[in-house]
Amino acid sequence: MSPFHLTRTLPEDATDAALRADVLHGLTRMPKTLPPKWFYDAHGSNLFEKITELPEYYPTRAEREILIGRAGEIASATGARTLVELGSGSSEKTRYLLDALTGLDTYVPVDVSESALTQAGHALIAERPGLNVHALIADFTAGLELPDTPGPRLVAFLGGTIGNLVPDERAAFLTSVRSLLAPKDALLLGTDLVKDESVLVAAYDDAAGVTAEFNKNVLTVVNRELGADFDPGAFAHVALWDPENEWIEMRLRALRAQTVKVPTLDLAVDFIRGEEMRTEVSAKFRKDGIRHELAAARLALTHWWTDTDGRFALSLSVTR
């Protein structure tokens, strides 16, 4: 049997259907919204890679610092023989865990992008003879069924991506992850932490304007895929801190009154001048809050690691 196996749990047209549903729902509600997952076409993914290298954007560097320093402890605490990574993308950061998990048998990357899974999977097998890669083309927020692989399993959700979910969505997600875990399995969760507002806002509104271009890319995606006529130049990038919810919001502000047509949906959408459309929520966390949310999903926090500056955390939790 080949050490690389690919399973598709999403229908071929699932991405197109989800985009249509999200745009129709988001543009016909008040305030208007578009989900952040649609930033990430090929151009958007390249822009995000540039964002991770910006001096203002600390989360990627902070998480990498923890992984480099603590991967051995994570391996010792879990003894994982299967590593499952949700939203694996290029699997770059995962290499620190793969190096540390000396008893690992199988890596299960989960992503919606077949090309990213195939490219990363074959690269990892070439680097690590003996590693089995069972890739899943799946939407991990819509329920997930894992392949039959050796335990214990470590499920990793890195990058602070859980912050893109609002509280009800986080609760449902953590409950769904809990349902995947057997005794002795564990969840490794990456979370960005609450800190000074100026540091947070700068991370999402960099001086070079890369994040602004990334934010507007969602309009380009909707134009290309649904035949819409958004003018990205008619919108301004906005990043602000919501202290009550303790999250950053990214928005697009209409610079003039305009009507946007989305022919595929037979939709015409009016924007008044100054109207803001939310494109991302990025929640920031505190240790006690994480512990509480995990406990509500019947998960017990056992380990907590931060970077040197206390900006970002990786937590390990097990079933209760």
157: CATH: 3.40.50.150
Hey, what are 20's tokens?
Answer: 């249509």
Q: Is residue 2 part of a domain?
A: yes
If you average pLDDT over residues 226-234, what whole number do you get? Answer: 97
Whether 1 has a pLDDT exceeding 60, the answer reads: no
The residue range of the domain holding 23 is 1-226+287-320
Q: What is the per-residue burial (b if ≥16 Cβ within 10 Å, else e) of 110-141?
A: bbbbeebbeebbeebbeebeebbbbbbbbbbe
Sheet holding 276-283, edge to edge: 235-242, 247-254, 276-283
pLDDT at 13 > cutoff 80: no
Q: What does the pLDDT average to over 53-73?
A: 97
What is the pLDDT confidence band of residue 174, given thresholds at 50, 70 and 90? very high
Does residue 36 lie in a domain region? yes
In a domain, 251, yes or no: no
Residue type, 141: T
The pLDDT of residue 138: 86
User: Is the pLDDT confidence value at 5 over 90?
Assistant: no
**Could you tell me the two tokens for 276?**
């803001």
Mean pLDDT of the chain, nearest integer: 94
CB 10 within 8 Å of CB 138: yes
Tell me how many helices (H) and strands (E) the chain has.
9, 13
- Give the 3-state secondary structure of residue 54: coil
Query: What are the distances in angstroms from CA 318 to CA 33, 167, 297, 299, 309?
Result: 35, 21, 11, 5, 26
Out of 118-122, 179-183, 259-263, 306-310, least confident range: 118-122
How much is the average pLDDT of 266-288?
98
282 in a domain, yes or no?
no
Residue 232 lies in a domain: no
210-227: per-residue pLDDT in tens?
A: 999 999 999 999 999 999
Q: Is residue 253 part of a domain?
A: no
Q: Quote the pLDDT of residue 2.
A: 66
Name the pLDDT band for 72 (thresholds 50, 70, 90). Answer: very high
- Residue 89 pLDDT > 90, yes or no? no
User: Cβ neighbours of residue 292 under 8 Å, at least 6 residues apart?
Assistant: none
Per-residue confidence at 115, pLDDT binned at 50, 70, 90? Answer: confident
Confidence of residue 92 (pLDDT cuts 50, 70, 90): confident
Give me the pLDDT at residue 77, please.
97
19-33, 36-50, 153-167, 235-249, range with the lowest pLDDT = 36-50
Distance CA 210, CA 105 (A): 39
pLDDT value at position 100? 96
Q: Say how many domains are in the chain.
A: 1
Cβ atoms within 10 A of the Cβ of 289, count? 16
Residue 216 lies in a domain: yes
Angle at 186 between CA 293 and CA 123, to 5 degrees: 115
Domain membership of residue 123 (yes or no) is: yes
The residue among 45 and 283 whose pLDDT is bigger is 283
| pLDDT confidence band for 31 (50 / 70 / 90) | very high
Q: What integer pLDDT is reported at residue 73 of this predicted model?
A: 98
Q: Which residue carries 């602000």 as its tokens? A: 240
Which whole number is the average pLDDT over 216-244? 97
Bridge partners of residue 186, in order along the sequence: 154, 318
